[in-house]
Amino acid sequence: MRERLSTAWLVADFFTYQHRLSGRMNVRYNKLAGQLNNTTTSFLQLEDAYISNVERPAEIIASYTSTVLYKQNITAVVVANQEDGLMREQTYGSYLGTYLRSVFITVPSFEIKGYLRLSGKLDLRTVLTTGTDTFVPILDGQMVSSLRQDVVFSGGAILVNKNHIGVFCVEEKEE
Amino acid sequence: MAKILVIDDEADLLEMMRLVLERRGEHETVLSAEGRDGLAKALADPPDLAIIDVMMPGITGYEICRQLRDNPATASLPIIILTARAQPVDRDAALSAGADAYMTKPVMMAELLEQVDALLAKRRAGEPSALAGMFTLLSLRGGVGVTTLAVNLAVTLRQANGGAACLIDLCPSSGHVALQLGLRPQPNWSDLHDSGARALDADTITAHLLQHSSGLRVLASPFFPVVGQGIPQEMIQTTLRILQQQFPIIVVDMPSVLNEAAIAAVKAASAIGLVVAAEPPSIQTTIGTLRVLRQWSDKLHIILNQITPGPQPPAEAIERALKHPLTGNIPFDSSQARALAQRSPLALNNPDSPLAQATQRLAQTLSR
> How many Å is the maximal CA-CA distance in chain B?
68
State whether B182 and B326 are in the same domain.
yes
Residue range A19-39, pLDDT digits in tens: 999 998 988 888 899 999 999
- B105 neighbourhood in chain A, CB within 8 Å: 5-6, 11
Whether this model's ipTM surpasses 0.90 comes out as no
- A6 neighbourhood in chain B, CB within 8 Å: 105-106
Q: Count how many domains chain B has.
A: 2
Alpha carbon A134 to its chain's center:
11
Interface of B with A in 245-284 (CB under 8 A): none
Among the partner residues A2, A48, A59, nearest to B57 by beta-carbon distance: A48
- Among B124, B140, B171, the domain boundary falls at B124
B23 and chain A in contact, CB less than 8 A: no
> Residue A60: closest CA among chain B residues belongs to which residue?
B60
Average pLDDT of the residues in B321-325: 89
Q: What is the DSSP string of chain A?
A: ---EE--SEEEEEEE-SSEEEEEEEE-SSS-HHHHHT-TT-SEEEEEEEEEEETTBTTS--EEEEEEEEEGGG--EEEESSGGGGS-GGGTTSTTT-SEEEEEEEEETTEEEEEEEEESSS--HHHHHHSSS--EEEEEEEEEEESS-TT-EEEEEEEEEEGGG-SEEEE-SS--
**Cα separation values, A94 from A79, A108, A132, A141, B358, Å:** 21, 31, 18, 20, 67
Among the partner residues B55, B88, B109, nearest to A3 by beta-carbon distance: B109
Reduced to 3 DSSP states, what percent helix, strand and coil does chain B have, rounded to the nearest 5? 45, 15, 40
| Cα gap B364→B72, rounded to integer Å | 9
Contact yes or no for B106 and A4 at CB 8 A: yes
User: B219: closest CA among B209, B227, B211, B228?
Assistant: B209
Contact yes or no for B109 and A151 at CB 8 A: no
CB distance B355 to B331 below 8 Å? yes
CB distance B105 to A48 below 8 Å? no
State whether B81 and B141 are in the same domain.
no
Write phi, then psi, for B348 (nearest 5 degrees): -95, -50
> Residue B58: closest CA among chain A residues belongs to which residue?
A63
CATH number of the domain that residue B119 is part of: 3.40.50.2300
Contact yes or no for B60 and A50 at CB 8 A: yes
Closest CA–CA distance from residue B274 to any residue of chain A (Å) = 26
Give me chain B's average pLDDT, please: 86
Among the partner residues B16, B57, B88, nearest to A63 by beta-carbon distance: B57
pLDDT band at A175; cut points 50, 70, 90: low
CB-count burial class (<10 Å; 0-12, 13-18, 19+) for A152: middle
CB distance B39 to B68 below 8 Å? yes
Contact yes or no for B55 and A50 at CB 8 A: yes
CATH number of the domain that residue B277 is part of: 3.40.50.300
**pTM, full prediction:** 0.54
State whether B314 and B250 are in the same domain.
yes
State whether B98 and B138 are in the same domain.
no
Write phi, then psi, for A150 (nearest 5 degrees): -80, -10
**Cα separation values, A139 from A17, A119, B285, B332, Å:** 21, 15, 55, 63
Average pLDDT of the residues in B147-175: 86
| Cα gap B302→B171, rounded to integer Å | 20
Write phi, then psi, for A17 (nearest 5 degrees): -55, -45
State whether B43 and B154 are in the same domain.
no
- A63 neighbourhood in chain B, CB within 8 Å: 55, 57, 60
Q: What is the pLDDT at residue B168?
A: 94
Average pLDDT of the residues in B77-84: 92
- Among B59, B90, B124, the domain boundary falls at B124
Contact yes or no for A4 and B107 at CB 8 A: yes
Q: What is the pLDDT at residue A4?
A: 45
**Cα separation values, B273 from A115, B28, B277, Å:** 49, 35, 13
Residue range B267-303, pLDDT digits in tens: 889 899 999 999 889 999 999 999 999 888 888 999 9
Contact yes or no for A7 and B109 at CB 8 A: no
State whether B345 and B299 are in the same domain.
yes
State whether B213 and B81 are in the same domain.
no
Q: What is the pLDDT at residue A7?
A: 58
> Residue B14: closest CA among chain A residues belongs to which residue?
A5
Could you tell me the domains of chain A?
9-78 (2.30.30), 82-170 (2.30.30.100)
State whether B180 and B322 are in the same domain.
yes
Q: What is the pLDDT at residue A89?
A: 64
State whether B41 and B171 are in the same domain.
no
Residue range B32-45, pLDDT digits in tens: 999 999 999 999 99
Beta bridge pairs of residue B107: A5
Residue range A105-159, pLDDT digits in tens: 999 999 999 998 876 666 777 777 777 789 999 999 999 999 888 889 999 999 9
**DSSP-derived 3-state class of residue B149:** helix
- Among B124, B149, B174, the domain boundary falls at B124
* Angle in degrees, 0-180, between the axes of helices B280-293 and B315-322, rounded to the nearest 10: 40
Residue of A5, A11, A158 to mutate, testing the B interface (most B Cβ within 10 Å of its Cβ) = A5
State whether B136 and B114 are in the same domain.
no
Among the partner residues B9, B84, B90, nearest to A58 by beta-carbon distance: B90
User: B299: closest CA among B90, B134, B131?
Assistant: B134
State whether B166 and B307 are in the same domain.
yes
Alpha carbon A97 to its chain's center:
18
- A13 neighbourhood in chain B, CB within 8 Å: 85, 87
Residue range B181-217, pLDDT digits in tens: 989 888 888 887 776 655 678 888 888 899 888 788 9
> Residue A79: closest CA among chain B residues belongs to which residue?
B86
CB distance B285 to B139 below 8 Å? yes
CB distance B209 to B218 below 8 Å? yes
Residue with the larger pLDDT of the pair A59 and B233: A59
pLDDT band at B151; cut points 50, 70, 90: very high
Among the partner residues B88, B107, B110, nearest to A152 by beta-carbon distance: B88
Contact yes or no for A65 and B57 at CB 8 A: yes
Closest CA–CA distance from residue B50 to any residue of chain A (Å) = 17
**B214 lies in which domain range?**
129-367
State whether B159 and B200 are in the same domain.
yes
| Cα gap A6→B61, rounded to integer Å | 19
- B108 neighbourhood in chain A, CB within 8 Å: 1-4
| Cα gap B26→B8, rounded to integer Å | 20
Q: Which residues contact B91 (CB under 8 A, 6 or more apart)?
A: B102
